[in-house]
Amino acid sequence: MNNYFRTYLLNRPKEFFAASVFALYTAPEFVPVPYDQVTEQVDAILFRSASTASLREYRSMEFLRLIKSCGLYSHVLRFDQREI
C-alpha cells in the first residue's frame, strides 16, 4: 500500500516502529502532526488500545485493505503513486 498514506494514518515517528514485527518502511524525514482534540478522538476510535507498533501496523494494514476494496484507493494514490 501507499507508504505516505499509511505513515500519516499512523502518525508516529520512524523510531516508534523499530520494534514492529512488520518490516514496513517509514520515511526518515516524516514528522508526526500534533493532534488536536478531534484527530485524537479519531485515532482513539480507529486504533483503540493498539498501542504497540505491531498492533498499530496491523490495524493500519486492515484499514488500507478496506480502502482498496471499496473503491477509495485512487484517492490514497492521488498525491503519491508509489506503492510498497
User: Could you give the C-alpha distances from 2 to 31, 37, 38, in angstroms and in order?
Assistant: 17, 26, 24
**pLDDT one-digit tens code per residue, 24-58:** 777 788 888 898 999 889 888 888 877 788 988 88
Please tell me the distance from the alpha carbon of residue 74 to that of residue 64, in angstroms, as a whole number: 12
On the question of pLDDT at 8 being above 80, the answer is no
> What is the pLDDT at residue 47?
86
> What is the pLDDT at residue 10?
83
Decide if 20 contacts 50 (C-beta within 8 A).
Answer: no
The residue count of the chain comes to 84
Provide the 10 A C-beta neighbour count for residue 31.
8
Q: What is the mean pLDDT of the chain?
A: 80
Please tell me the distance from the alpha carbon of residue 73 to that of residue 64, in angstroms, as a whole number: 8
Higher pLDDT, 31 or 67: 31
